[in-house]
């Protein structure tokens, strides 16, 4: 068995949850460097580690790439962990069956055809961010992540919110209720879409939407196809609308956190994107106190996506006909 074959057999046994088959690939005094922990030595310690992990986590390794040294005594692996958090681990957030996706790696030392040392590495903070559920109450406002079964009660309110909020600069949108109603119904047609709704009592005061990029309109998908992106791995954030009196309370942050959590749970997306209108700095209707949201988006980990733009068309307030507007995309890996 080559070193690469040994490492691949190691992860195949892990995916089968085959403890005995897994341990058979290890040297008796195997050294195990635990991520964010100390060194454990011996098969007995590794067995206890596996039993504990299997009790608390359900994990599967995908996208495995193995690289071996010329002497066959060393190897490295990079892979993606698809997991579910089953039982609360010591000192970690409560477990409720949350799903997660992690980029990870490992380094191996091989002696006499067995794994003699393994060092695992992954980003613990990223894992915690995925299993910590976003807040359901922010500054006294109830925030709910709805999926298709709960859309019906929120779609009319979302249409009205869009017409209200988008009248302000930079959109200056002259809304049409019939069009808005048809537009928001597109989210009900996507099986993996989401609406994050904010309620003050029973009143809908804000909402944010998202859906797989593949399910969006062609004028949104086309720039990504042209640039060679795999649209099937991108989740698209639509509008994020909130009445002015409720801003600067953390609700906008919750809108992003809930949509990002929804995209992660689906486990097939590695990026999220959204777009925003571009208006000139000297636009005649630009308020003197207008503050772009670029800083807020950057603080959330988003960056402008160079070279990719789209064009949306709508009627500005006071205009008789729609005009085209350039839209700039922002992206973040998840």
Angle at CA 240, nearest 5°, toward 173 and 291? 70
Instruction: Please identify every stretch of the chain with a pLDDT value under 70, giving residue numbers as ranges.
Output: 148-149
pLDDT digits (tens, 9 = 90+) for 222-236: 999 999 999 999 999
Contact criterion met (CB below 8 Å) for 62 and 80: yes
pLDDT at 36: 74
- Report residue 174 as tokens: 């002259």
CA distances from 290 to 166, 239, 327 (A): 14, 19, 18
pLDDT digits (tens, 9 = 90+) for 102-144: 899 999 999 999 999 999 999 888 888 888 888 889 989 999 9
Is the whole model's pTM more than 0.75, yes or no?
no
Question: Are domains 3-131 and 137-333 of this chain identical in fold?
Answer: no
Strand arrangement of the beta sheet that strand 57-68 belongs to: 39-41, 26-33, 114-122, 99-111, 74-85, 57-68
**Residue bearing tokens 């005061």:** 205
Domain positions in the chain are 3-131, 137-333
Cα 74 → chain centroid: 34
pLDDT at 133: 80
Identify the CATH class of 137-333. Answer: alpha beta
The CATH classification number of 3-131 equals 3.10.450.50
């Amino acid at each position: 068995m080559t070193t690469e074959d040994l490492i691949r057999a190691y992860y195949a046994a892990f995916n089968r949850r085959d403890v005995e088959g897994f341990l058979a690939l290890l040297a008796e005094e195997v050294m195990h460097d635990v991520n964010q922990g100390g060194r454990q030595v011996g098969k007995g310690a590794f067995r206890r580690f596996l039993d504990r992990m299997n009790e608390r986590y359900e994990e599967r390794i995908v996208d495995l790439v193995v690289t071996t040294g010329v002497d066959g005594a060393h190897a490295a692996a990079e892979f993606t962990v698809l997991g579910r958090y089953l039982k609360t681990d010591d000192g970690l957030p409560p477990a409720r069956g949350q799903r997660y996706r992690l980029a990870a790696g490992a380094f191996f030392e091989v002696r006499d055809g067995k794994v003699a040392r393994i060092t695992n590495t992954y980003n613990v903070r990223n894992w915690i961010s995925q299993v910590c559920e976003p807040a359901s109450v922010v500054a006294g406002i109830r925030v709910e992540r709805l999926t298709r079964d709960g859309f019906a009660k929120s779609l009319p309110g979302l249409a009205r919110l869009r017409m209200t909020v988008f009248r302000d600069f930079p959109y200056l949108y002259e809304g049409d209720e019939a069009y808005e109603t048809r537009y928001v119904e597109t989210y009900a047609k996507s099986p993996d879409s989401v609406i994050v709704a904010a309620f003050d009592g029973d009143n809908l005061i804000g909402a944010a939407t998202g859906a797989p990029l593949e399910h969006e309109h062609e004028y949104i998908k086309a720039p990504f196809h042209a640039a060679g992106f795999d649209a099937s791995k991108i989740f698209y954030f639509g509008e994020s609308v909130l009445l002015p009196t409720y801003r600067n309370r953390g609700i906008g942050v919750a809108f992003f956190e809930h949509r990002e959590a929804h995209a992660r749970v689906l486990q097939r997306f590695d990026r999220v994107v959204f777009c925003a209108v571009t208006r000139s700095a000297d636009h005649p209707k630009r308020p003197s106190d207008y503050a772009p949201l670029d800083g807020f988006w950057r603080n959330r980990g988003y960056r402008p996506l160079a070279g990719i733009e789209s064009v949306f068309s709508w009627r500005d307030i006071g205009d008789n006909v729609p005009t085209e507007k350039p839209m700039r995309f922002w992206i973040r890996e998840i």
